[in-house]
Amino acid sequence: MQNNNSFRGHLRLLTPIEMLISMDYEELIHGLSTLEPDEQRGFMREFDKELVGILERYQEIKVSHLLQGLKKAYADVS
């Protein structure tokens, strides 16, 4: 029961991505297994949202760097 309370405490304080980074794999899997099915789905839903946000931000950065490179290359040619 203590592990369950500890995991729930972490869940209230950290986002799913932060939990993934800060906990080892076995601890995370064990903690998730102590949650009710609807809580597990909620965790995964939040994890998916965070991951999509990270991927979108990565794409924005990638495009920005590409545009900067193209501008620099164009300026060098001109």
CB 28 within 8 A of CB 20: yes
Q: What is the pLDDT of residue 63?
A: 96
17 close to 43: Cβ distance less than 8 angstroms: no
Q: What one-letter code names the amino acid at 24?
A: D
Identify the pLDDT of residue 44. Answer: 95
Q: What's the confidence (pLDDT) of residue 1?
A: 44
**Tokens representing residue 46 in the block:** 């939040």
Domains of the chain, residue spans = 2-77
Give me the average pLDDT of each 10-residue run along the chain (78 residues).
71 91 91 93 96 97 95 85
**Amino acid occupying residue 11:** L
CB 15 within 8 A of CB 42: no
Whether pTM exceeds 0.85 = no
Exposed, middle or buried: residue 16 (CB in 10 Å: 0-12, 13-18, 19+)? buried
